[in-house]
A and B are shown apart, each in its own frame.
Chain A
Amino acid sequence: MAKKQNIIDEAKEAIQKAAETVTDTVKDVLEDEKTQKIVKQVKKTAEKVADKVQDIVDAPETKEAADALKDAAGKVAEAVKAAVSGKTEKIITPKDAKIPEGPLAEKWTNYKAHQKLVNPANKRRLDVIVVGTGLAGASAAASLAEMGFNVLNFCIQDSPRRAHSIAAQGGINAAKNYQNDGDSVYRLFYDTIKGGDYRAREANVYRLAEVSNNIIDQCVAQGVPFARDYGGLLDNRSFGGAQVSRTFYAKGQTGQQLLLGAYSALSRQIGKGKVKMYSRYEMLDVVIIDGRARGIIARNLVTGRIERFFAHAVVVGTGGYGNTFFLSTNAMASNGSVAMQIYHKGAYFANPAYAQIHPTCIPVHGTFQSKLTLMSESLRNDGRIWVPKKLEDAKALQAGKLKGRDIPEEDRDYYLERRYPAFGNLVPRDVASRAAKERCDAGYGVNSTGLAVFLDFSDAIKRLGKDVVAAKYGNLFQMYEKIVDENPYENPMMIFPAIHYTMGGIWVDYELQTSIKGLFCIGEANFSDHGANRLGASALMQGLADGYFVLPYTIQNYLADQITVPRMSTDLKEFVDAEKAVEAKIEKLMGIQGKRSVDSIHRELGLVMWEFVGMGRTAEGLKTALTKIKEIKKEFWSNVYIPGSAEGLNVELEKALRLADFIEIGELMARDALNREESCGGHFREEYQTPEGEALRQDDKFSYVSCWKYMGEDQEPELIKEPLDYEFVQRQTRNYKA
Chain B
Amino acid sequence: MDKTINIKVKVWRQAGPKVKGHFETFELNNISTDSSFLEMLDVLNEKLISERREPIAFDHDCREGICGMCSLYINGHPHGPDDEITTCQLHMRKFKDGETITVEPWRSAAFPVIKDLMVDRRAFDKIIQAGGFISVNTGGVPDANAIPIPKKNADLAMDAAACIGCGACVAACKNGSAMLFVSAKVSQLALLPQGQVEAARRAKAMVAKMDELGFGNCTNTGACAAECPKGIKLSNIARLNREFLCAKLKD
Listed in ascending order, the chain A residues whose CB lies under 8 Å from chain B are 139, 142-143, 146, 157-164, 166-167, 176, 178, 214, 216-223, 225-234, 250-251, 253, 255-257, 260, 263-265, 267-268, 270-271, 277, 279, 302, 331-333, 365-366, 368-371, 373-374, 478-479, 482-483, 485, 548-549, 552, 597, 599-600, 641, 643-644, 648-649, 651-652
Q: How far is the CA of A257 from the CA of B198 in the complex (A)?
A: 20
Quick one: given A233-B148, A643-B55, are A600 and B46 in contact (CB under 8 Å)? yes
**In the assembled complex, which residues on chain B have CB atoms less than 8 Å from the CB atom of A143?**
137-138
Q: How far is the CB of B115 from chain A (nearest CB, A)?
A: 5
- Does B39 touch A at the CB level, under 8 Å? yes
Considering the complex, give the chain A residue whose CB is closest to the CB of B190.
A223
B55 and A651 contact, CB distance less than 8 A: yes
Q: How far is the CA of A257 from the CA of B66 in the complex (A)?
A: 11
Comparing B159-167, B168-176, B217-225, B234-242, the segment that makes contact with chain A is: B159-167
Starting from the known contacts A253-B66, A255-B66, A479-B65, 20 additional A-B residue pairs (CB-CB under 8 Å) come to A159-B122, A160-B125, A166-B66, A166-B67, A176-B144, A178-B145, A218-B136, A218-B138, A221-B134, A223-B189, A227-B158, A231-B148, A257-B158, A264-B128, A271-B131, A331-B67, A370-B42, A482-B65, A482-B82, A643-B52
Could you name 28 residue pairs across A and B whose Cβ atoms are closer than 8 Å? Answer: A142-B138, A146-B137, A158-B121, A161-B165, A167-B62, A219-B144, A220-B141, A220-B194, A221-B136, A228-B149, A228-B155, A233-B145, A233-B148, A271-B129, A279-B122, A302-B114, A371-B63, A373-B64, A374-B64, A482-B89, A483-B36, A483-B89, A549-B139, A597-B49, A600-B46, A641-B52, A643-B49, A648-B115
Q: How far is the CB of B204 from chain A (nearest CB, A)?
A: 14
Contact of A234 among B48, B145, B155, B165 (CB under 8 A): B145
A366 and B34 contact, CB distance less than 8 A: yes
**In the assembled complex, which residues on chain B have CB atoms less than 8 Å from the CB atom of A158?**
59, 69, 120-122
Q: How far is the CA of A219 from the CA of B141 in the complex (A)?
A: 9
Quick one: given A482-B82, A643-B52, are A649 and B158 in contact (CB under 8 Å)? no
**In the assembled complex, which residues on chain B have CB atoms less than 8 Å from the CB atom of A161?**
68, 125, 165
Q: How far is the CA of A366 from the CA of B3 in the complex (A)?
A: 12
- Does B132 touch A at the CB level, under 8 Å? yes
Q: How far is the CA of A365 from the CA of B33 in the complex (A)?
A: 11
Number of interface residues of B (CB under 8 A): 78
Considering the complex, give the chain A residue whose CB is closest to the CB of B38.
A370
Contact of A232 among B60, B61, B124, B151 (CB under 8 A): B151
Contact of A331 among B61, B82, B131, B143 (CB under 8 A): B61
- Does B118 touch A at the CB level, under 8 Å? yes
B158 and A225 contact, CB distance less than 8 A: yes
**In the assembled complex, which residues on chain B have CB atoms less than 8 Å from the CB atom of A374?**
64
Contact of B39 among A164, A279, A370 (CB under 8 A): A370
**In the assembled complex, which residues on chain B have CB atoms less than 8 Å from the CB atom of A260?**
161
**In the assembled complex, which residues on chain A have CB atoms less than 8 Å from the CB atom of B2?**
366
**In the assembled complex, which residues on chain B have CB atoms less than 8 Å from the CB atom of A162?**
61-62, 67-69
Quick one: given A221-B136, A644-B54, are A267 and B121 in contact (CB under 8 Å)? no
Chain B 75-91: CB-based contact to A (< 8 A → 1; otherwise 0): 00000001011000101
A331 and B63 contact, CB distance less than 8 A: yes
Considering the complex, give the chain B residue whose CB is closest to the CB of A168.
B66
B62 and A216 contact, CB distance less than 8 A: no
Q: How far is the CA of A599 from the CA of B45 in the complex (A)?
A: 10
**In the assembled complex, which residues on chain B have CB atoms less than 8 Å from the CB atom of A366?**
2, 32, 34-35
B192 and A225 contact, CB distance less than 8 A: yes
Q: How far is the CA of A166 from the CA of B86 in the complex (A)?
A: 15
Instruction: Enumerate the 9 nearest inter-chain pairs by beta-carbon distance, A residue then B residue, closest first.
Output: A232-B148, A264-B133, A271-B129, A221-B141, A225-B158, A225-B157, A220-B144, A143-B138, A331-B61
Quick one: given A142-B138, A232-B148, are A268 and B46 in contact (CB under 8 Å)? no
**In the assembled complex, which residues on chain A have CB atoms less than 8 Å from the CB atom of B135?**
268
B-side binding surface: helix, strand, loop or mixed?
loop
Q: How far is the CA of A302 from the CA of B69 in the complex (A)?
A: 16
**In the assembled complex, which residues on chain B have CB atoms less than 8 Å from the CB atom of A482?**
65, 82, 85, 89, 91
A164 and B122 contact, CB distance less than 8 A: no
B141 and A217 contact, CB distance less than 8 A: yes
Q: How far is the CB of B91 from chain A (nearest CB, A)?
A: 7
**In the assembled complex, which residues on chain B have CB atoms less than 8 Å from the CB atom of A256?**
66, 162, 164
B138 and A164 contact, CB distance less than 8 A: no
Q: Which of B39, B42, B54, B139 has the most CB of A within 10 A?
A: B139
Contact of B67 among A164, A226, A648 (CB under 8 A): A164
Q: How far is the CB of A149 from chain B (nearest CB, A)?
A: 13
Q: How far is the CA of A142 from the CA of B135 in the complex (A)?
A: 12
B132 and A264 contact, CB distance less than 8 A: yes
A267 and B133 contact, CB distance less than 8 A: yes
Q: How far is the CA of A467 from the CA of B247 in the complex (A)?
A: 39
**In the assembled complex, which residues on chain A have CB atoms less than 8 Å from the CB atom of B164?**
256
- Does B130 touch A at the CB level, under 8 Å? yes
**In the assembled complex, which residues on chain B have CB atoms less than 8 Å from the CB atom of A641?**
49, 52
Chain B 24-46: CB-based contact to A (< 8 A → 1; otherwise 0): 00000000101110110011001
A649 and B114 contact, CB distance less than 8 A: yes
**In the assembled complex, which residues on chain B have CB atoms less than 8 Å from the CB atom of A250?**
158, 161
A267 and B128 contact, CB distance less than 8 A: yes
Considering the complex, give the chain A residue whose CB is closest to the CB of B128.
A267
**In the assembled complex, which residues on chain A have CB atoms less than 8 Å from the CB atom of B84?**
478
Considering the complex, give the chain B residue whose CB is closest to the CB of A484.
B34
**In the assembled complex, which residues on chain A have CB atoms less than 8 Å from the CB atom of B132?**
264, 267
Q: How far is the CA of A641 from the CA of B52 in the complex (A)?
A: 9
Q: How far is the CB of B197 from chain A (nearest CB, A)?
A: 11
Considering the complex, give the chain A residue whose CB is closest to the CB of B141.
A221
A159 and B64 contact, CB distance less than 8 A: no
**In the assembled complex, which residues on chain B have CB atoms less than 8 Å from the CB atom of A267?**
125, 128-129, 132-133
Q: How far is the CB of B130 from chain A (nearest CB, A)?
A: 6
Q: How far is the CB of B75 from chain A (nearest CB, A)?
A: 18
Considering the complex, give the chain A residue whose CB is closest to the CB of B41.
A370
**In the assembled complex, which residues on chain A have CB atoms less than 8 Å from the CB atom of B10?**
none
Quick one: given A159-B122, A233-B145, are A649 and B57 in contact (CB under 8 Å)? yes
Considering the complex, give the chain B residue whose CB is closest to the CB of A302.
B114
Q: How far is the CB of A653 from chain B (nearest CB, A)?
A: 11
Chain B 168-211: CB-based contact to A (< 8 A → 1; otherwise 0): 00000000000000000000110010110000000000000000
Q: How far is the CA of A144 from the CA of B65 in the complex (A)?
A: 31
Contact of B138 among A371, A478, A549 (CB under 8 A): A549
**In the assembled complex, which residues on chain A have CB atoms less than 8 Å from the CB atom of B143?**
217
B43 and A226 contact, CB distance less than 8 A: no
Contact of A157 among B57, B69, B133 (CB under 8 A): B69
Q: How far is the CA of A271 from the CA of B62 in the complex (A)?
A: 27
**In the assembled complex, which residues on chain A have CB atoms less than 8 Å from the CB atom of B158?**
225, 227, 250-251, 257
Quick one: given A158-B69, A162-B61, A223-B192, are A265 and B16 in contact (CB under 8 Å)? no
A159 and B133 contact, CB distance less than 8 A: no
Contact of A268 among B120, B129, B150 (CB under 8 A): B129
Considering the complex, give the chain A residue whose CB is closest to the CB of B49.
A597
